[in-house]
């Protein structure tokens, strides 16, 4: 008799990314589904990792990271956010942001604790809460102004829904800003409202900020931890995957006050012995790149965003133009569709372009909010985006 999976994972199912990736490969589709670049990051960052390998820096590092990388993370926080961070007691290096999220949940969430999850959400959030014994409490971002092709679509939080989600069982809230998949940058007013509720209910704010440097049209990202009253209750997560285009290196980090850092490290040390030592040296060099790198990165992605947005509008989609990140949420109703999963399967099999159905990023109660969209990634070479455009025009026919 076959064994059954443990109850904590039995209800998860297969990731939508796996299903779409397999479908894209079957039909040789242009892949705009995956949220990783199809090109490498800076050569000098690769050189730093290679130099570390050749210099014999190939053995275990401290569980919470090499001193060079922790110093670079602290310097980066000061440079971009005027945030003073103790590299010994407030910085933990992780195996990417995904492991960071897992260790944060295991280290801070007790069985029965509620964790507020703003949806649509990166797919690991709810499973991480559940595996830690917590209970996800979902609050949706709601699309507005979806009226005609090319219309402006905004994603907003209902302040009453957000307020109602907090109670004496709330342990934490996960805030992803800049946001995947909508590309929303949370406004100062929204962050201040979240901060006030966290302080009122003594709640930890866990912020996923992996798209912090990929912002457009002059928009700026604000780190929630820097707001008044949040230093002692904010856990900030980021990584080098998005900013530096080395997703396979799996280098992320957590910044948190000493008491929260100590709790997270208790879990982290048994989830992962340490991140790859040479890659940590490469990551340290990346964080010290000059300002031109960061501004050039954002400018390059803005050009790609605009190119894909124009292609999608020409194909008949309603486009939600993102303020940050890697993705465009495209409305499918102008094309006569109301089912994102069916549309994505049709798009891969018949049109030859792979995208992700965002209803997978919602709880069952709110899946309807995602069914009118599909998510396209523009973190690709211009050649890939041009190939997708040539295929997308077939939708008009």
Mean pLDDT, the chain, as a whole number? 94
Query: Is position 1 within any domain?
Result: no
Q: Are residues 53 and 182 in the same domain?
A: yes
For residue 136, give the nearest of 115, 120, 166, 118 by alpha carbon.
115
Q: Choose the final residue of a domain: 268, 290, 312.
A: 290
Please report whether residue 2 resides in a domain. Answer: no
Report the number of distinct structural domains present in the chain: 2
Domain identity same for 21 and 48: no
Percent of residues, the chain, with pLDDT higher than 70: 98
The answer as to whether 113 is a domain residue is yes
Q: Cα(312)–Cα(375) distance, rounded to whole angstroms? A: 11
Q: What is the pLDDT of residue 17?
A: 79
What 3-state class would DSSP assign to 245?
coil
| 58 and 36 belong to one structural domain | no
Name the residue range of residue 209's domain.
44-290
Q: Are residues 94 and 23 in the same domain?
A: no
Distance CA 327, CA 37 (A): 12
What is the model's pLDDT at position 397?
Answer: 63
Write out pLDDT tens, residues 281-313. Answer: 999 999 999 999 999 999 999 999 999 999 999
Specify the pLDDT at position 273.
87
256 and 375: one domain?
Answer: no
Domain boundary among 242, 270, 290: 290
Query: Which CATH number does the domain housing residue 87 bear?
Result: 3.40.640.10
pLDDT at 299: 97
Domain harbouring 323, CATH code: 3.90.1150.10
Assigned domain for 81 exists: yes
Verify that 76 and 192 share a domain, yes or no: yes
CA distance 372 to 131: 30
- Weakest-pLDDT range from 10-19, 63-72, 99-108, 168-177: 10-19
Q: Are residues 138 and 234 in the same domain?
A: yes
Q: Same domain, yes or no, for 31 and 48?
A: no
In degrees, to the nearest 5, what angle opens at C-alpha 82 toward C-alphas 195 and 260? 50
Residue 375 falls inside a structural domain: yes
Classified as helix, coil or strand, 272 is coil
Determine the Cα angle at 382 with ends 380 and 384, to 5°.
Answer: 60
Whether 166 and 250 map to the same domain: the answer is yes
Pairing of strands 252-255, 91-94: antiparallel
- pLDDT-derived band at 15 (thresholds 50, 70, 90) equals confident
Position 36 confidence tier, pLDDT thresholds 50, 70, 90: confident
Burial of 335 (0-12, 13-18, 19+ CB in 10 A): middle
How far apart are alpha carbons 340 and 165 in whole angstroms?
28
pLDDT score, position 149:
47
Last residue of a domain, one of 290, 313, 345: 290
Please tell me the predicted confidence (pLDDT) of residue 157.
94
Q: Is residue 22 part of a domain?
A: yes
Based on the fold, state whether residues 32 and 57 are members of the same structural domain. Answer: no
CA distances to 82, 83, 261, 291 from 257, rounded to whole Å, are 16, 12, 6, 27
pLDDT of residue 150: 44
Residue 311 in domain: yes
pTM comes to 0.94
Read off the DSSP letter of residue 249.
G
User: Residues 6 or more apart from 189 whose CB is under 8 A from it?
Assistant: none
19 and 51 both lie in a single domain? no
The stretch 69-96 carries a mean pLDDT of: 98
Pick the range with the lowest mean pLDDT from 10-14, 324-328, 354-358, 361-365. 10-14
Q: Give the tens place of pLDDT for each residue, 209-248.
A: 999 999 999 999 999 999 999 999 999 999 999 999 999 9
The reply to whether 278 falls in a domain is: yes
Asked whether residue 154 falls in the same domain as residue 275, the answer is: yes
pLDDT in tens, 63-81: 999 999 999 999 999 999 9
pLDDT band at 145 (very low <50, low <70, confident <90, very high): low
What is the Cα–Cα distance from 350 to 187, expressed in whole angstroms?
Answer: 39
């Amino acid at each position: 008799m076959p064994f059954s999976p443990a109850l904590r994972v039995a209800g998860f199912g297969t990731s939508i990314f796996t299903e779409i990736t397999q479908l894209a490969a079957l039909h040789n589709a242009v892949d705009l589904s995956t949220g990783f670049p199809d090109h490498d990051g800076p050569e000098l960052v690769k050189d730093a990792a290679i130099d570390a390998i050749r210099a014999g820096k190939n053995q275990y590092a401290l569980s919470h990271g090499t001193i060079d990388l922790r110093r670079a993370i602290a310097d980066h926080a000061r440079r971009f956010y005027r945030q003073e961070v103790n590299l010994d007691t407030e910085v933990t290096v992780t195996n990417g942001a995904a492991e960071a999220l897992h260790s944060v949940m295991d280290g801070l969430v007790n069985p029965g604790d509620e964790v507020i999850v703003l949806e649509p959400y990166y797919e690991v959030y709810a499973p991480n809460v559940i595996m830690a014994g917590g209970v996800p409490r979902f609050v949706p971002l709601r699309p507005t102004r979806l009226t005609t092709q090319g219309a402006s679509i905004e994603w907003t939080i209902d302040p009453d829904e957000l307020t109602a989600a907090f109670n004496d069982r709330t342990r934490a809230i996960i805030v992803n800003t800049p946001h995947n998949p909508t590309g929303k940058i949370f406004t100062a007013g929204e962050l201040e409202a979240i901060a006030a509720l966290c302080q009122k209910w003594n709640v930890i704010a866990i912020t996923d900020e992996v798209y912090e440097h990929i912002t457009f049209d002059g928009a700026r990202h604000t780190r929630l931890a820097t707001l008044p009253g949040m230093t002692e209750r904010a856990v900030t997560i980021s990584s080098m995957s998005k900013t530096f285009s080395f997703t396979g290196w799996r280098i992320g980090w957590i910044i948190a006050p000493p008491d929260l850092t100590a709790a997270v490290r208790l879990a982290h040390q048994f989830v992962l012995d340490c991140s790859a030592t040479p890659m940590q040296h490469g990551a340290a060099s990346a964080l010290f790149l000059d300002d031109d790198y960061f501004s050039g990165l954002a400018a390059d992605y803005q050009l790609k965003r605009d190119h894909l947005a124009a292609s999608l509008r020409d194909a008949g989609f309603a486009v939600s133009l993102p303020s940050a990140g890697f993705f465009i949420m495209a409305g499918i109703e102008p094309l006569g569709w109301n089912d994102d999963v069916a549309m994505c399967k049709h798009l891969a099999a018949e049109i030859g372009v792979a995208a992700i159905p965002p209803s997978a990023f919602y709880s069952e109660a709110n899946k309807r909010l995602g069914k009118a969209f599909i998510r396209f990634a523009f973190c690709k070479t211009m050649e890939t985006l041009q190939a997708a455009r040539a295929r997308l025009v077939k939708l008009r026919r």
